[in-house]
Amino acid sequence: MKKTLSIAALIIAIIACLPLVSGLIAKNRFEALTAELQAKNPNVQIQSQYHLGWLSSTAKLTWGTSAPEAQWPAIQHEVIIHHGPLAFFYDEQGKMHFFFGIAVLDVRLPEFAKSSLFTIDFQKKIFSALVRIPFNLHYAVDVHAALQATINLASKPILNLNLDQLQLTCDFTHDFSRVKGQLLVQNFNVNADSRGYLNIPSIQVEINNHREQRVYLGNETITIPSIDLSIPPMLQFKLQDFNSAFVGLRKKNDVSYQMTLEINNANYDNQSYGPLGFNFQVNNLNFKVLAEIEEKVRVYAKQRATQPENTEDLQNALAEDLKKLLPGLVQNNTEIALKQLDLSVPSGNLHSQGSVRFVQLPTSVDNLSALMQDIELSYHLELSKSLAQSFLVDLIDSNIGIANNNIDPTSILGQLAKLGLLRENSDSYNVDINIKKGAPYVNQQPFNPSILQQLQTVAAPQEVLTPPPAGAIPPATIATPQAAVAAPQAAVTAPQAAVAAPQAAVAAPQAVVGTPAKQ
């Protein structure tokens, strides 16, 4: 009986001491972090305080000096650490919640000290970030924020900030192999009076993704009703109805990715762009090979960080590994498809779609002629006449370096139609490119390499072009890669693009927003 009571007392003592042990661990980690920050920022004064408690501790970190004569204000972070096997925290309504874990961090909005040059006056300030750290290292973050402030430079207001609401809930593992969360931002405004403004009524982001053997799977969506940005006189930009989605799915040994993007309208420099519709898919990649490629890339990134002097050798080694692995990435049913690309710009509009499907496994990605035997390619492009003429003029001007007013784009496009490279309709030009059993076809006619020689005279309107003789051309006669249409070359690089598809989801929205600037 005494032995049982002793064991029970020992267990109770251990449980009672665990909160203090967790607090000591957090204290040591906080002090180590402060020392690391000071070492990386020797020119910034960093001070820290840690008040250890049994169930709860308080840590403070101050950047800079809070002396009144300081030009820039000191920034002070406060973190309340609720530690122990049974942690607790209060939400924004004041309700107490319990959580079984190592620690719960309540991070408050930084305080800014007054300075002689730079000040921030808060009219509204709400910020609380709860970070829960359980024993299984599955983290959770819950952030609530609202802000209204005026930023002053030398006592003169230069910027007004307003954020009605920011709410973030997110669960993730310590290595980010699983992430699930939602972000909601409502009414974010930045106003600099006559110097410009930025208005975003809302942003919604949903993420639910994970990695299997480092292969990205899951889905992400972003919705922004509008963006209104003005920096006179340089920039005036408006965006309406931005929606993007990225999905990665696995079925047994097949992996597929899909990226969609929609923009109703974008107005840049008083010109209207859009609507834009984009849908790109990579279907039925080999999961095992993709996982092996991801591992090779991970090892390369790690080695490059530790051996920067060997970057070139590491790049060559990675290229050789990818060259061996890429043929195994595709399967008999692998497809790389541009399902939709519709775009309207001031000079016209375009519609495009196409796909590359592997009908048999490629043995190499080096031999273009052999690779053409392994694929079926179809591509369709439709350009309004106004856009085709504008594009042709810009293309010729960029090649010769000066604007050539003597060039008649209508005449050149007409001659391209005579050669069979374009189909002219009442208000558009079309082109269809196909590859079947290694032979390229343009507008349903076998492609004749001799057309490439006649293209050199297209820029001279006085030349009269004659179309090549009709008749099928055996695949064996197409020996040179340059004789093929440029579109089949995409089949060589397409598997490489498929590897980068997961990372392309984040950059795509930015690229599209930047599209008007390129026009």
Q: pLDDT averaged over consecutive 10-residue blocks of the chain (519 residues)? A: 72 69 77 84 85 84 76 78 63 56 66 77 84 70 90 84 94 86 96 91 96 93 96 91 97 95 93 95 95 93 89 92 90 92 94 92 74 89 93 74 65 85 91 90 86 63 46 41 37 38 38 37
| Torsion, Cα of 290, 294, 297, 301 (10° steps) | 170
DSSP string covering 78-132, please?
Answer: EEEEEESSEEEEE-TT--EEEEESSEEEEEEPPEE---SSEEEEEEEEEEEEEEE
**441 backbone dihedrals φ, ψ, rounded to 5°:** -130, 140
- In angstroms, rounded to a whole number, what is the distance separating the alpha carbons of residues 429 and 435? 21
Between β-strands 254-268 and 276-286, what pairing exists: parallel, antiparallel or unpaired? Answer: antiparallel
pLDDT at 215: 93
- In angstroms, rounded to a whole number, what is the distance separating the alpha carbons of residues 107 and 79? 5
Is 371 buried (19+), middle (13-18) or exposed (0-12) by CB count in 10 A? buried
Residues 6 or more apart whose CB falls under 8 angstroms from that of 398 comprise none
Helix (H, G, I), strand (E, B) or coil at 319: helix
Q: How many CA atoms lie within 13 A of 51 on its CB side?
A: 7
pLDDT at 158: 87
Which among 61, 62, 108 has a CA at the least distance from the CA of 89?
108
pLDDT at 12: 67
Helix (H, G, I), strand (E, B) or coil at 310: helix
pLDDT at 399: 63
| CA distances (Å), origin 396, targets 403, 404, 408 | 8, 8, 11
- In angstroms, rounded to a whole number, what is the distance separating the alpha carbons of residues 217 and 255? 8
Helix (H, G, I), strand (E, B) or coil at 403: coil
The reported pTM is: 0.74
pLDDT at 220: 97
pLDDT at 505: 37
Between β-strands 75-83 and 56-63, what pairing exists: parallel, antiparallel or unpaired? Answer: antiparallel
Q: How many CA atoms lie within 13 A of 210 on its CB side?
A: 9
**448 backbone dihedrals φ, ψ, rounded to 5°:** -100, 120
